[in-house]
Amino acid sequence: MRAADGPDEIHAAMRYALTGGKRLRGFLVLESARLHGVSAGAPVEAAAATEALHAYSLVHDDLPCMDDDDLRRGRPTVHVKWDEATAVLVGDALQTLAFGLLADPVCHPDAGVRCRLIAGLAEASGARGMVLGQAQDIAAETAETPLALDGIEALQANKTGALIVWSATAGAHLADADPDPMRRYADALGRAFQIADDILDVEGTAEEVGKAVGKDQGAGKATFVSLLGLDGAKARARDLVEEACAALDPFGSDAETLRHCARFVVSRDR
């Protein structure tokens, strides 16, 4: 397909980038909002914002100058289906969209709450969060010595952990409640999620996972699997799921869906 040649094409490519995926981050917003008694419908903007921000990061990370991936969510990546310029612009516009959604009064009537969500998202996604994590990841690929466990954990906390924490604490912020239990849940969940990703990179097929697999191993890159072994990584992921579930104790049986989510994250096949 040829380059995006105007507004319609850019919007079409944005919708394409937003389609598919597990929508884990959006689910975490909706479910944490429900858990905190935020009425249905109210958290939709925040859920859409985290999915838009996540989609932007995938489109840019997949670029030839970054991870150079052709397959995402089982379909050609944006720069393959359109071109690189479109992929840069689509990512840029999706990031803008995320902040625009949160600034809208429809997101929450209290502008103070909206600003806290926006400040938190900027913290999670910027040069001290997701962008830093991606820079560390690229640097690790060309480094002479592979990262040790604490280096990988710090990298992943930035690259994927911060946005997962933002998503899971959004419901507490929308309800003006203490975000701490959800923060502990999401921190453990994010770490389990990344270990499961490393396991899928070894055990999954591109068809199941919807993106290229075996890349880390091929590149001789340190991962949770290369450092802990397959069994060790699986045991660590299970421990983290228990930690995530325990953090939900204050919510009792109300949090059962989020506990299911944590168990799903390590048992998923994509």
DSSP 251: G
DSSP string covering 191-259: HHHHHHHHHHHHH--HHHHSS--SHHHHTT---HHHHHHHHHHHHHHHHHHHHHHHHTGGGGGGGHHHH
Among residues 86 and 223, whose Cβ is nearest to a second copy? 86
Task: Quote the least distance from Cβ 252 to a second copy, whole Å.
Answer: 33
Among residues 31 and 67, whose Cβ is nearest to a second copy? 67
- Residues of this chain that interact with a second copy (CB under 8 A) are 3-7, 9-11, 14, 56, 60, 63, 65-66, 83-86, 88-89, 91-93, 95-97, 99-100, 102-105, 110-112, 114-116, 118-119, 121-123, 125-128, 131-132, 134-136, 138-139, 142-143
The one-letter amino acid code at 12 reads A
Angle (CA) 152-21-120 rounded to 5° is 55
Residue 62: strand, helix, or coil: coil
Residue 36: strand, helix, or coil: coil
Instruction: Return the H-helix or E-strand segment holding 128.
Output: none
Tokens at 17, concatenated? 């980038």
Task: Quote the least distance from Cβ 172 to a second copy, whole Å.
Answer: 18
Among residues 103 and 227, whose Cβ is nearest to a second copy? 103
Task: Quote the least distance from Cβ 146 to a second copy, whole Å.
Answer: 14
Task: Quote the least distance from Cβ 135 to a second copy, whole Å.
Answer: 5
Contact at 8 Å (CB) between 217 and 184? no
Among residues 9 and 243, whose Cβ is nearest to a second copy? 9
Task: Quote the least distance from Cβ 132 to a second copy, whole Å.
Answer: 5
Among residues 131 and 202, whose Cβ is nearest to a second copy? 131
Diameter of the chain measured on Cα atoms:
53
Among residues 36 and 116, whose Cβ is nearest to a second copy? 116
Task: Quote the least distance from Cβ 183 to a second copy, whole Å.
Answer: 19
**Distance in angstroms between the alpha carbons of the first and the last residue of the chain:** 27
